Structure 1
Amino acid sequence: MNDKIIVGSEEWVKLPKINVPAIKVRVDSGAKTSALHAVNIEPFIKEGEHWVRYDVYPVQANGKTVVHCESPIADKRIIKSSTGTKESRYVIKTLLHISDDVWEIELTLTNRDSMGYRMLLGREAMNGRILVDPESSFLLGTVEDSELSQLYKSKDIEKKGLKIGLLASNPDLYSNKRIIEAGERLGHEMIFLNIAQCYMKLDAKTPEIHFRGGKILNDLDAVIPRIRPSMTFYGCALTRQFEALNIFCLNSAAAITQSRDKLYSLQLLLNNGINIPTTGFANSPLDTSDLIKMVGGSPLIVKLLEGTQGKGVVLAETKKAAESVINAFKSLKANILVQEFIKEASGKDLRLFVIDGKVVAAIQREALPGEFRANIHLGGTASIIKPTIDEKKIAVKAAKAMGLKVAGVDIIRSSKGPLLLEVNSSPGLEGIETATEKDVASLMINAIEKSLKWSKK
């Protein structure tokens, strides 16, 4: 026992085999396996062997210091996290340098950006070598910020990234903050561009986009448009201008515009063979009775075409109520859709997050007890769910039909099979990241890197 190293609940260690000179670890004897924070995890073949390349950001809250690593794959396992979520992870073997001792350990690679430590040291790596004093910290010494800066000063570790603009309205929204943080963590320069503070110069020879104060934005590499519905016209005009300057836009202006047109988007979906709840559209109040009959009678849903995020949505439980609501909207010369009510959905729908033609995360959303839910998400609780193959196909097909690289696709389960409700060109990240613990913001940045063929190598 006297030969064992006594450590606290947190310590500094080295991983010399993968060029990590210092990383703070959480020592956790309750965890079986050890884990290392890694992103951009990509398997490949090297000299006939299976390897994995990955990026390690060893310093917490530092998005610029990155170590590019490659290791042979030792295994691939299903790991259950502390929250109960199961994840398939690559396992590597590397050297752990702690105090004056060095030995080989196994590390699983996973995104730990939301955790307090970039590395977790589990009991398998400690067996026979370490004793833990949980009341103490840094018994083997600490590493100051100035020392960290010197250790990670090598030009091989840091590389200049892309210049990416986030075109939106509120920098304090969770989604916008997460995208900025993810981009900076991946080594890119992120700039928040308030839509209302941007303006453009239309000129055949020298077209420009300016930001408040006269700053010219023509040198951006990419733009992420996240345009609130009330700013659709102007936001899409700016996006088109960026496109005219050959600046890559994660979602194009044309795709955003057609996804915001509820009627046209439904027609596009149908033309691509995607099922939706039976929907009616009419201009004259004289056709109200047949319109109600067309969608299967009451109860039914009445939606304003200009409505957003559940606003302008009414559940009409009887034919009389439906006639009153429809005729009231018509008297205001408002354009509406009339849609069948999917009773068997029981207040639940699915949100599938699609990035670059792939479903990267999915949740089920359920209304709170007593809360009305009219074939559309109005709040409530979110939980992780595994979508079916058909639901994934519908989501990918819908995003493609709209021309969107990033989309939130809402699906409802019915007795007729999955039905598509809506495709959102600026889907929120909070609910889906919280429920699934997936770093969706980084996946959006990765899609830009892929499109621009940008690599840290």
Structure 2
Amino acid sequence: MLKIIGSEEWCAFKELGIPAIKARVDSGAKTSSIQATHISVFQKKKEDWVKFEVNPIQDNRSITLECEGRLVDRRVIKSSSGISEERYVISTPVTLGDDTFDIELTLANRDTMEFRMLLGREALNGRFMVNPAKSYILKTLTEDNLSASYAPYLKEKTGLKIALLASNPDLYSNKRLVEAAEARGHEIVFLNVELAYMKLDARSPEIRYRGGNILKEFDAVIPRIKPSVTFYGCALIRQFDYLGVYCQNSAEAISQSRDKLFASQLFAKNDLHIPITGFAKSPMDTKDLIKMVNGAPLIIKLLESTQGKGVVLAETSKAAESVINAFKSVQTNILVQEFIKEANGQDIRCFVVNGKVVASMQRQAEKGEFRANIHQGGRASRIKITAEERKLAVKASKILNLSVAGVDIIRSNKGPLLLEVNSSPGLEGIENATGKDIANAMIVGIEKKLKFQN
């Protein structure tokens, strides 16, 4: 008689060293799969084996298990999004409840999936029936049970003390940085920008936190300052710098990057090619301003715009005049920029850490849109950039003196053009598109700057 299992169950892989991993039971999928990164093939007793890493707990990369299994196949698998890719297949015993049996697993990047493992029908045939209305019929694990199972894998905190200076601890980027720092044995503390305050004194300068706690003994600060608190956030970063704390991006670098006009002037001065850009105060010069950037269609951009907000496409000269003059009438500073039609709504985001491009993605705007920003519905995919694009991204970050930067580039008939540089680039889109651990690269970047050896 077949055993009944739920739509979600806990599995264990003794040979892989995985004490517990939550699986989605899916009879619609033929093969089972498990989340895996850093996959490499090696020889063991004249057979092909695979080394890989697993983060067994969803939304937590602070625990990483190094696994290896016997390679049995390479298969082209079509994902739920319809994309086909070649995956390695291993064979290993799995334990469900009281039963242990051999199973084939495809190694896949499941970071964006709800579950780190999928249990397919090949593993179910002749063994189990599924009751989709129930979960964890075979075994239930509490948070305490799970913590106890993985306690031996937690690194002792013997590293740096890092402050993450931001506003929302629940944002993907901030959670990932905390996980990455802890995974490398560092202590990391989340600090809300608006809850910190300063004592300015030549003899004993201080930074305090709500309640009067003095913030001291930090080795490094990761600033992720939202635009609305740039002025205050940069003041805090300067204060940390005065106290001898390494700040991954300096206050000056952040301020320069967020002043789009000044940044554009720096880029042009240093021979970095940007779309033709205009800036004027008087409405009397609007028509010539439009001609100067090669006429309509053109882009009108607020100086303080972020994440694609405050950016307008004017299709005609008349529409451009109306929008420009409307902004000027309310004393709002704008940039006017040529529209690169041949880009077809695509741009490239390069993520730079310590002068090196660690990941790149291409962003494609939704149909009918001209901006490829992910926050506005754009789609992201991995891309191999050219040597010229890589050089442009690195040089742009160096000119602004940013250790961490998201550099946006657009491809034109004149070659790659620099759009802008973000001093607090998000991690979610580029990590999901490329499968790369950008948060870890940022923490490693701090270690290298401080010459810390883990």
Q: Is the structural similarity TM-score above 0.5? A: yes
Counterparts in 2 of 1:127-276, with a 5 A limit?
130-135=127-132, 138=136, 140-143=138-141, 147-154=145-152, 156-160=153-157, 163-171=161-169, 176=174, 190-202=188-200, 207-270=205-268, 274-276=272-274
Which residues in structure 2 correspond to 1:85-164 (within 5 Å)? 85-86=83-84, 92-98=90-96, 102-125=100-123, 130-135=127-132, 138=136, 140-143=138-141, 147-154=145-152, 156-160=153-157, 163-164=161-162
8 Å contact from structure 1 (residues 382, 431) kept in 2: no
| 1:52 correspondence with 2:48 | no
Query: How far 1:382 moved relative to its partner?
Result: 1.8
Q: 1:342 aligns with which of 324, 340, 343?
A: 340
Which residue does 2:293 correspond to in 1?
A: 295
For residues 26 and 378 of structure 1, what CA distance do their matches in structure 2 show? 28
Q: Which runs of 5+ in 1 are unaligned?
A: none
SS at match of 1:427: coil
1:452 aligned partner: 447
2:417 maps to what in 1?
419
AA at the equivalent of 2:94: L
Whether 1:381 and 2:380 are equivalent positions in the alignment is no
2:10 and 2:304 map into 1 onto residues whose CA distance is 56
C-alpha contact (below 8 Å) 1:301/1:313 kept by paired residues: yes
What letter is aligned with 2:380? Answer: I
The 1:272/1:34 distance shift into structure 2, 3 A limit, reads farther
Contact kept? 2:69, 2:92, Cα under 8 Å: no
Q: d(CA) in 2 for partners of 1:214 and 1:426?
A: 28
Contact kept? 1:159, 1:456, Cα under 8 Å: no
User: Partner residue of 1:366?
Assistant: 366
State TM-score, norm by structure 1. Answer: 0.74
Q: Which amino acid aligns with 2:29?
A: A
Secondary structure, counterpart of 1:266 in structure 2: helix
Give the C-alpha shift of residue 448 in structure 1: 0.8
The alpha-carbon deviation at position 423 of structure 1 amounts to: 1.9
**2:439 counterpart letter in structure 1:** M
Find the counterpart in structure 1 of residue 438 from structure 2: 443
Structure 2 contact 427–439 (Cα < 8 Å) conserved: no
Please state whether the residue corresponding to 2:15 is helix, strand or coil.
helix
Gap change, CA 1:29 and 1:246, over 3 Å in 2: farther
Which residue is equivalent to 2:303?
Answer: 305
Aligned length: 442
Is the 2:352–2:407 Cα contact (8 Å) retained in structure 1?
no
Q: Report if aligned partners of 1:209, 1:242 keep a CA contact under 8 Å in 2.
A: yes
In 2: Cα distance, 1:397 partner to 1:7 partner? 56
TM-score, normalised on structure 2? 0.75
Local SS of the residue matching 1:213? coil
Structure 2 portions without partners, runs of 5+? none
Counterpart residue identity of residue 359, structure 1:
A
Percent of matched pairs sharing the same residue:
53
